[in-house]
Amino acid sequence: MIILFALLYVIVTTSEVGAWGEEGHRGIAEAVQGHLTASTAKSIAKIVETGNDLPPGTLARLSVWPDQIRALTKNPHATIPGFSTAEMEEARQFVAAHPDNTNWHFVDLPPGAAHYPDLAHPDPADPALPFTSTTDVVHMIHQSVDILEGRTESATFTKLQALSWLLHLSEDIHQPLHVASGYYSTAADTLSHPTMLTDPTEVTKQHGKNDRGGNVLLFLANPTCPTKPTHENLHAIWDDCLVDVVGGAKGCVSKTTDKTVARVADHLKARMQDPASQAFRLQGDYHHWPEQWATDSVHVAAAGVFPSELDSGCVILDAKRPHPPVHVQSRVVAPATKGAYLQEHKVNADIQLTKAAVRLADLLNQLQWKD
């Protein structure tokens, strides 16, 4: 199949949306593949058309496709390094049919949300409901499962693509900043010292501006506001640097390689074998697990993922976004350095990566695969 053999030596460079980065996604998927039942492995092998066997690295290859194709959303004529002509055509057709696919990776719940709303019985009075959408990460996990279980068919969303998205989004949802986003008042008297709003009702009342999952909370050596997007932000630290540290690096690794991926995968394989990791498994109907995963991640975010102090030096008035009229871009003051933050949150990141691996393996093994 086309996307299975796409070369993966591409590091996604945009600072938004790519939870865990290439290293994290591939590392989780590689660990998960070793925990598939024989029946599940056979079902997946049938989808990827490799006979009865699932070649090593298959899930890792599939897991990064949703990030690889994102460049085509902004530029349909872009090329993706390593993709053949046929692979590029498939990617372009998918993006053309689903131009909103970059929104599938996340949901922006306020950190004070008690839970992700119940999709089966949504309550209009639930203050968290307005922050969800029919194309957020939870909904799109459900859609991918529906396609793989044969409840939904789509000419523009194949089973192989659904498998790729299921892997990717099930990993994304365990990155806390793909579920929670900081919100800040846009009142004039608050701009000099941004204070986070956490309660969903208060966010709605004050028209809080969100930080896009920490993408505009900046770790800077000096208070000068950058004029272009920077990777020195909270979201990127969770996507990449914390994964590097969990994999044994002393800090951020500049380039993802098979070796750095293997370090993360080997670590997660060992963690999955640890009896303590069994506590991360969920019970009950797996069709309700995505909501529980999102709820868990927003609680993790609320417990201390966001910096304790921000500087207003990078608050920017944005005439192009009048509702609300402020683009909050704030310098992190405490923790004082990116290195301090990494050490403070290494254990949390390790736990979230392990949760993703344990829970994704369980989901794949319980799925009712449709031939």
pLDDT at res. 16: 46
Q: What gap in Å lies between CA 156 and CA 19, rounded to an integer?
A: 24
pTM: 0.92
Q: Does the pLDDT at position 1 exceed 60? A: no
pLDDT tier, 18 (very low <50, low <70, confident <90, very high otherwise): low
Q: Kindly tell me if the per-residue pLDDT of 207 is higher than 70.
A: yes
Q: For 157-204, how does the pLDDT look when each residue is reduced to its tens digit (9 = 90+)?
A: 999 999 999 999 999 999 999 999 999 887 766 666 778 899 999 999
pLDDT of residue 184: 86
Mean pLDDT of the chain: 89
Task: Assign 327 a pLDDT band (cuts: 50, 70, 90).
Answer: low
Task: Kindly tell me if the per-residue pLDDT of 228 is higher than 90.
Answer: no
Instruction: Name residue, tokens 């968290």.
Output: 128
pLDDT in the model for residue 120: 84
How does pLDDT run across 241-290, given as a tens digit for each residue?
Answer: 999 999 999 989 888 999 999 999 999 999 999 999 999 999 999 999 99
Average pLDDT over residues 215-225: 80
Residue 6 has what pLDDT?
Answer: 38
350/14: higher pLDDT: 350
Average pLDDT over residues 116-130: 93
2 pLDDT exceeds 60?
A: no
How much is the average pLDDT of 108-121? 94
Yes or no: say if 267 and 245 are a contact pair by the CB < 8 Å rule: no
Res 323: pLDDT: 52
Give the model's pLDDT for residue 312: 67
Place of tokens 């993790």: 300
pLDDT at 35 over 50: yes
Least confidently predicted of 36-50, 123-137, 170-184, 216-230: 216-230
Tell me: pLDDT of 122 over 80: yes
What is the per-residue pLDDT for 239? 95
Share of the chain above pLDDT 70, in %: 87
Residue 27 has pLDDT above 50, yes or no: yes
Cα–Cα dist 296/292, whole Å? 6
Across residues 310-322, what is the average pLDDT? 58
Residues 6+ apart with CB under 8 A from 260: 23, 244, 247, 249, 253
pLDDT (tens digit per residue) in 41-85? 999 999 999 998 999 999 999 999 999 999 999 899 999 999 999
Domains and CATH numbers, the chain: 3-182+257-290+349-366 (1.10.575.10)
Asked whether the predicted pLDDT for residue 12 surpasses 90, the reply is no
User: Which residue in this structure is represented by tokens 């053949």?
Assistant: 84
What local confidence, expressed as pLDDT, does residue 192 receive? 64
pLDDT value at 13 more than 90: no
